[in-house]
Chain A
């Protein structure tokens, strides 16, 4: 009895430390974003000085005709759009690999699996050269199209489809006269939904964090995602120190979409992970 309580305390302690470890930087960011530039360098980082969050936000949203809002919108389009479409593609692909047997199935799957091992960073430059051939660099599509690809999603979708979509069910659907595409959207996709959420979240985060691709592809500031925009500002802080507070405040704002995505989808995600674990 005593042992159980002890181990529970230890576990809670470790969890507490981890939570603190993850939250302190965000706390620092929040506190930093509420200060003006003088207080930012002169007061302790983890507690408030004069509250200037409103001013900082105002500066951020009005600087250079509100280019920051444009970046946020771009990021949402790049990541949200690519994650939605990419999840659909990955799910259909994984489903096909799991449920249809055709020659070369394993070869295709192994190639896709190999793709998981190639980091997005390594592909940025070759992609740039390819898009240069097509005269398509510095466009929305030069970042959006490569972001659709998600080999890890295909892998997850295949594993999940194998485990959660019974062949008998597909057989029944076929007997009832449903076409394959209709079966996928009305029957299989419902069963695979938790996997979709997982793939979507992974994909969302991967695209959000893929910084190198836009860095290499884009020169037009109006097309930047927020990560590249903030990085650009940060590299100019030496020259224009006023930008420092914009970078801090911008960084705080830029994590909001991620937080929202996780809060909304976390429930489904937990389902998805759990389902895989029990089976």
Chain B
């Protein structure tokens, strides 16, 4: 699941963070609740009641199926706006007040912030999780274990493997070959411009797409050696990606409409923008945002940095975590595992909310093996199933992504309007991220 950085939500979260910080001193006396990885046992008897907070549309219906089949483990769904629009802040408040739900939906890029606050239960030793571990694509497991052995701070739920959506009809008419490398993509951009369009729209406010590009290029923004965080927003790969898109922006080969607006929908609907390098859920964004272009789109693997390469980026995705303080981590883990591995749950999540599973076999479910009408009957999910296995396993998110995103997105907005560059934006995001880590007393290496 992706997120859109809305200024409202940023303002909201930051005000709340301030208030929370002001109230938080002196209430950290919950050191006794370190259940650890070794004591995950089922409840001895009686019905177990769990609460689960998620903003997936239609999640209630999926949980209903579970509740009907498991009379002794009943799950109550709570809901709210998507994570960064308020639900994460609610989780933090609830953890502080000791009434967090048993389970919660957390996107991969927000998991580290909960881990740093010691808000997550390590469920690696819970039998259902131990058994299911191998069902998940390796890189998704790294996202929830943070590379620690014998650790699982959540169960992977969905992913956003990336591919290239392109206007088959327009490329054909203009006689442009579909780009397979980023060099070809830049060359195609010139021809598309000559034909009166833009090759794509560069997302100025949603940094996650850019992060997906960096992920593909082999960059790694954060790392943690067990004691200290290292921030590296300007590593080689990030610099390469930033320079590449800066080049396209400078030559005015890409449009820079704010993403997820009707203006943006319109650019695709009218054929102003010819391609979109996006995640699997983008298929639905296009079909609903640009309904007039039905049948005109094709999907191929995303452009590569080296000819013949086979790496993909990832954009979005979330997990199901068990919060510290849950009285029934075993049952919670059992539910989370069912929710994210069973065919019936994954199928419902796909149909109701366009979630693409994180499991190795999820991509071959019936819902994903059918042709999609909007894409001329193409089996577009085959491309994503392949991409899902080609995502680099090493990308790590940091514990303060909200502030990193907002800083970078400020810089990106200036860059597209000609003030500064994308690289400058990364540079200032780097320093503000380090500031932010320090201000939260999170150890950081410089």
Contact = CB atoms under 8 A, between A and B. Distances in A.
B353 A219 contact: no
B4 A238 contact: yes
Interface stretch (A121-129, A162-170, A182-190, A261-269): A121-129
A216 B93 contact: yes
A242 B81 contact: no
B53 A41 contact: no
Contacts of B145: none
Contact of B265 (A41, A125, A135, A232): A41
Nearest to B16: A125
Interface of A is mostly: helix
Contacts of B56: 239
A38 interface: yes
A228 B285 CA distance: 24
Nearest to B288: A241
B55 A235 contact: yes
A87 B160 CA distance: 51
Contacts of A37: 288, 291
B55 A241 contact: no
A129 B260 contact: no
B19 interface: yes
B19 A239 contact: no
Contacts of B266: 41-42
B1 A239 contact: yes
Interface string A199-232: 0000000000000100110111100000010011
Nearest to A221: B79
Contacts of B98: 132
B15 interface: yes
Interface in B172-212: none
Interface in A112-134: 121-122, 125-126, 128-129, 132-133
Interface in B371-386: none
Interface stretch (B36-44, B82-90, B240-248): B82-90
Interface bracket on B: 35 or more
B80 interface: yes
A232 B81 contact: yes
B288 A138 contact: no
Contact of A42 (B16, B101, B292): B292
A126 B23 contact: yes
B209 to A, nearest CB: 12
A52 to B, nearest CB: 14
A110 interface: no
Contact of B57 (A121, A129, A239): A239
A243 interface: yes
A158 B260 CA distance: 50
A215 B98 CA distance: 18
A236 interface: yes
A135 B260 CA distance: 39
A55 to B, nearest CB: 15
Contacts of A42: 266, 269-270, 292
Contacts of B16: 125
Given A40-B262, A216-B93, A238 B288 contact: no
B117 interface: no
A220 B53 CA distance: 9
Nearest to A220: B78
* Most chain A C-beta atoms within 10 Å of own C-beta, residue among B80, B101, B284, B353: B80
A33 B354 CA distance: 25
Contacts of B4: 238
Interface of A: 37-38, 40-42, 64, 121-122, 125-126, 128-129, 132-133, 135, 137-138, 212, 215-216, 218-221, 228, 231-232, 234-243
